[in-house]
Amino acid sequence: MKKTAYILLFGIILVISACEKKDPFVDRVVSPLLFLVIDDNGVASSGLTTEPTVMTKVSKDVTFSIKLVELDKTNILDHTKGIDSIAVKSLPIQLSIRNGAKIGELTTDDKGIAKLTKSWAELGIASPKSGTTLLLSWTGKYKDITFTKYTRIQGTN
């Protein structure tokens, strides 16, 4: 009798603990766009990096671009067509340092690209050295979904 009660109690505990719970702290929404970072040399990130880092020389201005594309998955199951990337045109993006300081607003062009060119001083770093890292936050709104992407700028010699 006790053995049956223990098995029943174990089964109830297992069922209760197996229930999926919503995370009360993080409201996750799938990003409406693929956010690519393009460095000085024209090399784009894969879009899969959580926080892409752009290496730039401390002796010159910080210059790099972002490219925003919407992924059309209509033909995802057709291997002859696949997923299509559609450039997001004329989308305003607010750029800020992650401490909250606003840098400015960029707007994507017809190819979905927005280019950043700022001096280190304009970004709040008067004397950058090799290894200096700046954390940026890009925020925009697309199809009524607000998104934020984080990037890093790291100085090199």
pLDDT computed for residue 106 by the predictor? 93
- Percent above pLDDT 70 for the chain: 82
Strand partners, 6: none
In tens, the pLDDT along 100-116 reads 889 989 999 999 999 98
pLDDT of residue 121: 92
Decide if pLDDT at 17 tops 90: no
d(CA 22, CA 28): 10
Structure confidence by residue, pLDDT tens digits, 65-98: 999 999 888 888 888 888 788 999 999 999 999 9
- pTM score of the predicted model: 0.73
Q: What is the mean pLDDT of residues 145-151?
A: 90
What average pLDDT does this structure show over 15-30? 63
Q: Which of the 8 DSSP states describes residue 18?
A: T
pLDDT digits (tens, 9 = 90+) for 30-54: 677 888 888 777 777 777 778 888 8
The secondary structure of residue 8, as a DSSP letter, is H
CATH code of 30-156, in short, is 2.60.40.10
- Cβ-proximal residues to 53 (8 Å cutoff; 6+ apart), any chain: 151, 152, 153, 154
Interior angle at CA 42, CA 133 and CA 57, nearest 5: 35
Confirm if 147 and 32 have CB atoms less than 8 A apart: yes
